[in-house]
Chains A and B, each alone.
Chain A
């Protein structure tokens, strides 16, 4: 077990290194750079652009730029944001916490919606099953930024008094914080809830055909007891796994949802940094997001192995 975990960690380090390199090269492969993005459409002489590039070290060869960044990153220095001129490590934590809050609320919403619809379609069969499955198919086809934009437009037009855009920090007002995250989290959760719903349905159908449920039925237990104690408990293990694996898509979705709802999280920061070519910030966020996804996957695997004796890692 210890050896396995160690191997896992070695893999994780390799993955993060690869991700940082690819992200670095991909961003540099995009045409245009920070100097041009900052200059905007105002007329700036080429020598001014050159001076900005020299200032930022963008005139060095790419590979030495990367190695410099890597060396600094390994010693815990993620550089300074080009735009705000502040250390990236100071900028990130508060935004990371906001994104964690948003994805947590979204995960809860997705779980509740997914499990409820999945259970309903598995238990009630017939018309309900059809309705749920068609709804799932439709919702999965609608990207979360479309849902988000529609929410923003509809609320802006018909319920202008609802304060959609007043993100409240948790420490200022915990209840208000959750409230201000509800709609964006809903936009983020919709697609994920469909995956959870389908998995719940499949798991419940699977468990329902197991012998121990037959026995429970034969013993004449009440259906409600069977659902609560036998079905849901046993069906939820895979569902939790799937939810864990969906963290990656929640993080990815947060980029546009946070941008649309003006939530000062990591996703919005990434969107902005890509637009303005703020390389140090992009590098740090991509690395952090990759680390989160890798760690969550690892935890899910380990937890699964602990929960189910048949699984070996």
Chain B
């Protein structure tokens, strides 16, 4: 097709040539973090008499991808399933388990759990909640045809039996310390109504809020569930999520009070914004995310433990916490602090000391006296924190004679590489909070697809992980989990740099009664009221 600018072209004079139409290439925007501000502002919880009514407007950074708790895989969906559905158990604000749809449970012989269910609970469509729904939910999860991501973690369930309408029995194949944690997590333990189709787009649960409407990329509206079983809750009459895809936009929307609350990804930006007004409450949340470097140990040079230890010794973790996170985080290990046996960021771990001289010596022993080039270090381009940390690590490692080339990649292809074990040497994908540390350790087992992808072949570690999951006593389990992490650090299977809150939550102080969770779902909207 010919584009004729004929009229214009004939008009050209010596000094009056029009600009050529320019084509602009698409660039991914990332919010450049502002000035470095160190220190976390305290959160402000004002006390007062809860008020019923009102609307809470939340700024969300991602749309849900599906709303059926059994089949969702995207973190962005959890925020919505967390308000619509409830499970047998739930987390308290300080990450303890308490009853929800169950009123109590008994354990028999460490492998059989009998739950007594709450009476008079109804689903949003009026259908009464019974043991049948519990059985239906878990049978559906365990059915391979459903292709639920939850099947793997519930494989330990042998059978779910309806004892009577308000009693349900779970029989496990062996003792499992992770089982209750999964049940208490939303969406992993969310109960769906028996025999109802299309809950992916028209969700129906027993939770505090009822799904009202959803316009993709614009807003997601919920209204209070009049039949919710907790007396007087929820206080709010409606909750509206508004979607802003850009971190700069979400920040400005909060400042202009277009939204009452939101969360930010960059702790430095969040710290800065929270200082802009005394009426902003902010809660850094609990450490729930770690920044690991996954090593490909299937081939040289990283199949040599000395090279891996050298890499660990050449890493100044504390410096990364200070520069990248502005101090809003801690040194990390496999399991974040908010978990059973999580690492506190202070105790000495093997090869955690920053010692470039010893790193050089280890490299020389491994046959690299003149340093080593590890090639590509792949990071998520869309996460500015990850990229910043990778750049700092690159400089630190250089001091010990280790050279890497940073390759920032789009998320989808990076995840494809990561899950298939197809990366040259180093790759970083942050690990977020999961209901139980076992989900994190499972990646290190030599018989898991992921572990095989990394080149794990440590049968002693496999046994330690299985034993820890079967340990029902929390104190002993914490000790075991800590041992596993020490073992991982000692062999430098994965390099963990720091741990930090996945999201930093901010809200205007007219929002009261809210508490952030390490799980990073906004479950406590159910106890929130708005004082406008």
A residues bordering B, Cβ < 8 Å? 11, 15, 30-33, 36-49, 51-52, 55, 81, 83-86, 91, 136, 140, 143-145, 149, 152-153, 155-157, 160-167, 191, 194-195, 198-199, 201-203, 205-206, 237-238, 241-242, 245-246, 249, 252-253, 255-256, 259-262, 264, 268-269, 271-272, 275-277, 294, 297, 301, 304, 308, 311, 313
A146 to chain B, nearest CB (A): 9
- Contact across chains for A238 and B7 when beta carbons are under 8 A apart: yes
- Contact across chains for B149 and A48 when beta carbons are under 8 A apart: yes
- Contact across chains for B216 and A83 when beta carbons are under 8 A apart: yes
B35, CB-defined interface residue at 8 Å: no
A62 to chain B, nearest CB (A): 17
- Contact across chains for A40 and B74 when beta carbons are under 8 A apart: yes
Chain A contacts for B460, CB-based, 8 A: none
B8, CB-defined interface residue at 8 Å: yes
Please name 14 further chain A to chain B contacts, defined as beta carbons within 8 Å, in addition to the given A32-B413, A252-B24, sorted by A numbering: A31-B412, A31-B413, A37-B412, A41-B429, A42-B149, A43-B442, A44-B419, A45-B449, A85-B66, A160-B256, A162-B256, A194-B19, A241-B5, A253-B24
B243, CB-defined interface residue at 8 Å: yes
Stretch of B160-168, B245-253, B317-325 that contacts chain A = B245-253
- Contact across chains for B73 and A44 when beta carbons are under 8 A apart: yes
Tell me what chain A mostly uses at the interface: helix, strand, loop, or mixed.
helix
Chain B 426-461: CB-based contact to A (< 8 A → 1; otherwise 0): 000111101000010011000001100000000000
- Contact across chains for B244 and A297 when beta carbons are under 8 A apart: no
Contacts known (A32-B416, A156-B248, A201-B16); A51 close to B147, Cβ less than 8 A: yes
Contacts known (A165-B252, A198-B18, A198-B19); A241 close to B8, Cβ less than 8 A: yes
User: Which residue of A is nearest B259, CB measured?
Assistant: A165
Contacts known (A51-B147, A160-B255, A242-B8); A136 close to B412, Cβ less than 8 A: no
In Å, the complex CA distance between A49 and B416 comes to 10
B27, CB-defined interface residue at 8 Å: yes
Chain B 1-41: CB-based contact to A (< 8 A → 1; otherwise 0): 10111111001110011110111101101000000000000
Chain B contacts for A31, CB-based, 8 A: 410, 412-413, 416-417
Chain A contacts for B26, CB-based, 8 A: 255-256
B111, CB-defined interface residue at 8 Å: no
User: Which residue of A is nearest B244, CB measured?
Assistant: A262
- Contact across chains for B432 and A152 when beta carbons are under 8 A apart: no
- Contact across chains for B252 and A46 when beta carbons are under 8 A apart: no
The 4 closest A-B pairs by CB, nearest first: A32-B412, A156-B252, A31-B413, A51-B147
**15 contacts across the A-B interface (CB closer than 8 A):** A32-B414, A84-B214, A145-B29, A161-B257, A164-B252, A202-B8, A202-B12, A238-B8, A249-B24, A262-B253, A264-B215, A268-B245, A297-B1, A297-B3, A304-B7
